[in-house]
Amino acid sequence: MKKLNVETSILSVIIIIFIGSCGNFAKDKGSVPAANNTYYNPLMDYGPDPWAFFYEGIYYYMHTMKDSIVLWKTDDITNLRNAERKTIWVPTDPSNSFNLWAPEIQNINGKWYVHYAADDGNTDNHQLYVLENPNKDPFDGEFVMKGRVSTDENNNWIIDGSLFEHKGVLYMVWSGWETRRIDVETQCIYIARMDNPWTLGSKRVKISQPELEWETHWKNTDGWNPPHVIYVNEGPQPLKSPKGKFIHIAYSASGVWTPYYALGLLTASTDADLLDPKSWSKSSEPVFRQSPENGVYGTGHNSFFKSPDGKEDFILYHARDTQTDPPGKGDTRSPRAQKFVWLENDYPDFGIPFPTTTPLTKPSRSAFQH
């Protein structure tokens, strides 16, 4: 009997091992995420104003570098630390050689365009500039200055230009001043039709201004504060709903230097006149905000991307691990990405920002992409 028990025990162990192996095989097939199919935020240690554009199986990524424009390319957006990178632009014109902010790269009609804001050393003089590269791969050839985007006759302050197409028409949204600052600085969200990526085809139209309580935080209780009042609406990002009902624009509100930086949502029907301010409604509360319980602060200035198989949607945003930048640490904003879902009413649900200790499942791929 003892011999039979031993043999039975050995057989049991073999069965358990086999079952475990099958379980691991199932994980590899995607029923349960395997360890090598996960990632952690942040995607890099530094990266304000992150932007990603997916094109022919490759993600092209950028973030604010301040004195130059750098481009990353990878087939795995969650592996940016090991992505190929190239400095594609170092300005030489003193009028736009300082404070290069929020570059965005897109392929429009077969050419690559980069929109970015820059100034002459005085941030009150920020304007929007456009680079062009006609090569199929933006890592090939050189980007050349296409020009400055003039958005109004007084050349008011402008940052964060983002282009999108709707019903065959090219539009741009951005953050700008209605008039030059005197005592209070107010950043508003504007939209215009574009004749081409560097020329407006209509007058600018204001579709949002900081007015709600959660949009107007500009003071830190412990940390840096600006020398004057600044009310912020910035970083507009277009997002078409999957059922085709709406054009959403996620935007960042309140001071980026505070922990209260958060995303709001502007929404217009796809059948509406996008250049009519009355076509747009605003969320009464933030749709994505800090999570002190998860140790994530200052969430905002986002972009959106899809998984390689086109089945999942992700939000890419920057945040800090502390309420404000710690003294002596510099800018601690870092890029983070997480999946979001769509509700039945064709509105996005971004959830809450996950802790940096949470393993997240990589964007889904089809079988032939593995």
Q: Which residues are catalytic?
A: 49, 234
Task: Give the Cβ contact number of residue 247 at 10 Å.
Answer: 23
Taking the alpha carbons of 330, 331, 335, 336 in that order, is the dihedral positive or negative?
positive
DSSP 335: E
Q: Of 54, 21, 26, 140, nearest to 337 (Cα)?
A: 54
Q: Of 190, 150, 185, 154, nearest to 172 (Cα)?
A: 190
What whole-number distance in Å separates Cα of residue 187 and Cα of residue 220? 19
Asked if residue 42 has a cis previous peptide bond (ω within 30° of 0), the answer is: yes
Q: Of 290, 292, 247, nearest to 265 (Cα)?
A: 247
Residue 366: partners with Cβ closer than 8 Å, 6 or more residues away: 308, 309
What whole-number distance in Å separates Cα of residue 210 and Cα of residue 233? 6
Q: Of 97, 128, 95, nearest to 113 (Cα)?
A: 128
Kindly state the helix (H) or strand (E) to which residue 28 belongs, with its residue range.
helix 2-28
Task: Give the burial class of 82: count Cβ atoms within 10 A of its Cβ; 0-12 exposed, 13-18 middle, 19 or more buried.
Answer: exposed
Tell me if residue 340 falls in helix, strand or coil. strand
Which tokens go with 333?
């904003």
